[in-house]
Structure 1
Amino acid sequence: MSVDVAQLRDFIAVVDAGSLSRAAGALHVSQPAISQRMAQLEAHLGVRLLDRGPRGVRPTSRGLTLYRDAQQLVRQFDRLAQDITGARQPVHGPVAIGLPTTVAAPLAPALFSWVRAHYPDVHLQLFESMSGYVHELLLAGRLDLAAVFREDDSPRTGELPLYSEELYLIGDPDPAPANPDEVSLRDLSEVPLVTPGVRSNLRALVDRAFAAHGLEPRNVGDVESLGTLIRIAESGEACTILPRSVAAVHGTRDRLAVRRIVDPSLRRHIAVRTATDGYEPREAVVAVRRGIVEVTRELAASGRWPGIHLT
């Protein structure tokens, strides 16, 4: 018995889905059928290809090798068939993207338009949430791509740097700082703050910045909603810390003070990360990742995404 292209397609679908049940749904077969096919493939090759667990399946080291090679073989087969028949298939399929709320507001609508214009057969699945939950979805295999926050711009496997941005104090502290445009980190130690919860990258960045200077932020509430953070800042009850682009998109200019944090400034770096660190993702995922980069550059160049610095 030899391995055929259909078996390789099934195996690729299982690894991409991270779940036998999700792969079965995508292939329009029953879960027992796809489980049996994977078992037969492993028996034929004499190696274990998948680690099966309560959260789904992941390729073993040998499975990862087969996945990479299988992708290349299937693509070559498809290209050969298309060249012979003259029927080049467009890039297609679902792509699940996770965007933290501060990124989604400027990026998501423009990215949706870009994908519709360039790859109409790609079906976007956009998930917007706070950064901690987006990261959990990515690790769980629920997403193909996600925008992730980092405190430095060191290169990481599976990540493509996008931009960096400084963080600002949003709201009017009492008493108000002498400088209407800037506020020092030390002066913030007495300012009541609302921030996302402890799983948030922004919260971790703020807590570490204060701790590095022997300070402790006066956190009076954890808020897992960007809109609510902004409304609390507008009310005057507390301030928050966010990038300037968020205030520009969500805030009411005459009710929302925005001050750059200095001594030191707070900066975070944003990258787009694929769920498949060790191997090349599907063609549709690669296309959408390219779209994220292009759209980010266009928005920054046109001034529609203020406060970001392209990496």
Structure 2
Amino acid sequence: MDIAQLRDFIAVVDAGSLSRATRALHVSQPAISQRMAQLEAHLGVRLLDRGPRGVRPTSAGRALYRDAQQLVRQFDRLAQDIAVSRPPVHGPVAIGLPTTVAAPLAPALFTWVRAHYPGIHLQMFESMSGYVHELLLAGRLDLAAVFREDAAPRPAELPLYSESLYLIGQPDPAPATPADVPLTDLRDVPLVTPGARSNLRILVDRAFAAYGMVPVNVGDVESLGTLIRIAESGEACTILPRSVVAGHDPRRLGVRRIVAPALRRHVAVLTATDRYEPRDSVAAVRQGIVEVTRELAAANRWPGIRLAERPEAADPRHEAP
């Protein structure tokens, strides 16, 4: 097994069919079919389920796909390091950010990295939280911001901040208190939320279930902008952190903190592996996320967040203060 076989296998899985993979790899279909058969024979396991609609990885294939992503990325970085003279901390760093985190963080983080580590090439992926976590587990990302329901320490995670969740929109009837709304008052309020894989959806479902309620979910929406526009339309409400609607008039749109109980989620930075320390460039970007988050909070440019207790990350230039 060599790196070329791994590249071919990744291309086949990404394409979902041998014929589509041939166009990406610029080889014939019999050639790519033979390469996949040779790889399976070498490993002694079936890696792909072949069908009339294409191919899908088996459980063994999914494991190989995840690890192959890491190996190919490391090989490419090693080749770049040998071929080109670069600054001490350099190379691509792939980071995944849920949309509600990316809105305030991504532009400031990009500026920070350019100023402190010009040799780092940022690759930013923005999506809903469930998909970001899947990309990290699949080996497509070096680190990601992830949501948690508590602040308990976990391997390979750096706590970042926590935030309260708010009801966005004008429920009918309107709550008596303009600023707050008890969770139990949302029993019959139509809601739009991200899909079932989203951390936000899981948190909301569990909070309602603790009070013997089921949220009236009238739509799954995997777009932050669309969630806010639906809330503006009055057709349904949504549940989001306050920071994502900071530019709106809170009384006109309807921005009420959920209380009794308060809904709160925690955000941490998770690296791709807990088996070893990330390389210097990944550690540098992780440190940048911490510093930028603290700067934005101090300047009141990220409203509604509460910083974690002295989050620390290794900075390859110096010891953290």
Q: Which amino acid aligns with 1:55?
A: Y
Q: State whether structure 2 residue 2 is matched by structure 1 residue 21.
A: no
Q: TM-score, normalized by length of structure 2?
A: 0.72
CA deviation digits over 1:260-304, x for unaligned, max 9? Answer: 101100000000000022111111000000000000000001100
Q: CA shift at 1:247, angstroms?
A: 1.2
Where 2:67 maps in the other structure, the secondary structure is strand
Where 1:157 maps in the other structure, the secondary structure is coil
Match of 1:203 in 2: 201
Q: State whether structure 2 residue 273 is matched by structure 1 residue 287.
A: no
My pick for the range that moved more, 266-275 or 251-260, is 251-260
Q: Which amino acid aligns with 1:273?
A: L
Where 1:176 maps in the other structure, the secondary structure is coil
Q: CA shift at 1:88, angstroms?
A: 8.9
Q: CA shift at 1:20, angstroms?
A: 3.8
Match of 2:67 in 1: 57
Q: Is the 8 A contact 2:87 2:119 kept in 1?
A: no
CA-based RMSD: 3.0
Match of 1:159 in 2: 157
Match of 1:244 in 2: 242
Q: State whether structure 2 residue 76 is matched by structure 1 residue 90.
A: no
- In the aligned structure 1, how far is the partner of 2:265 from the partner of 2:86? 42
Where 2:225 maps in the other structure, the secondary structure is helix
Q: TM-score, normalized by length of structure 1?
A: 0.74
Unaligned runs of 5+ in 1: 1-10, 25-31, 33-38, 40-50, 68-73, 79-86
- In the aligned structure 2, how far is the partner of 1:253 from the partner of 1:108? 24
Match 2:306 to one of 290, 305, 309: 309
Q: CA shift at 1:21, angstroms?
A: 2.4
- In the aligned structure 1, how far is the partner of 2:271 from the partner of 2:143? 5
Match of 1:213 in 2: 211
Q: State whether structure 2 residue 294 is matched by structure 1 residue 297.
A: yes
Q: CA shift at 1:136, angstroms?
A: 0.4
Q: CA shift at 1:153, angstroms?
A: 0.4
Match of 1:225 in 2: 223
Return closer, same or farther for 1:120/1:176 CA change in 2, 3 Å cut-off: same
Q: Is the 8 A contact 2:67 2:139 kept in 1?
A: no
Q: Using the aligned pairs only, state the percent identity.
A: 74
- In the aligned structure 2, how far is the partner of 1:58 from the partner of 1:21? 8
CA deviation digits over 1:158-187, x for unaligned, max 9? Answer: 000000001000011111010000101110
- In the aligned structure 2, how far is the partner of 1:151 from the partner of 1:214? 19
* Number of residue-to-residue matches in the alignment: 251
CA deviation digits over 1:120-178, x for unaligned, max 9? Answer: 11000000000000010000000001000000000000000000001000011111010
- In the aligned structure 1, how far is the partner of 2:183 from the partner of 2:66? 44
Q: Is the 8 A contact 2:128 2:222 kept in 1?
A: yes
Match of 2:129 in 1: 131
Q: Which amino acid aligns with 2:289?
A: I
Unaligned runs of 5+ in 2: 11-34, 36-41, 43-59, 309-321
Q: Is the 8 A contact 1:102 1:246 kept in 2?
A: yes
Q: CA shift at 1:54, angstroms?
A: 4.7
Q: Is the 8 A contact 1:20 1:56 kept in 2?
A: no
Match 2:111 to one of 98, 104, 113: 113
Q: CA shift at 1:57, angstroms?
A: 2.6
My pick for the range that moved more, 288-297 or 213-222, is 213-222
Q: CA shift at 1:56, angstroms?
A: 4.3
Match of 1:103 in 2: 101
Q: Is the 8 A contact 1:20 1:57 kept in 2?
A: no
Where 2:135 maps in the other structure, the secondary structure is helix
Q: State whether structure 2 residue 244 is matched by structure 1 residue 257.
A: no
Q: Which amino acid aligns with 1:233?
A: A
Match of 1:187 in 2: 185
Q: CA shift at 1:95, angstroms?
A: 0.3
Q: Is the 8 A contact 1:194 1:223 kept in 2?
A: yes
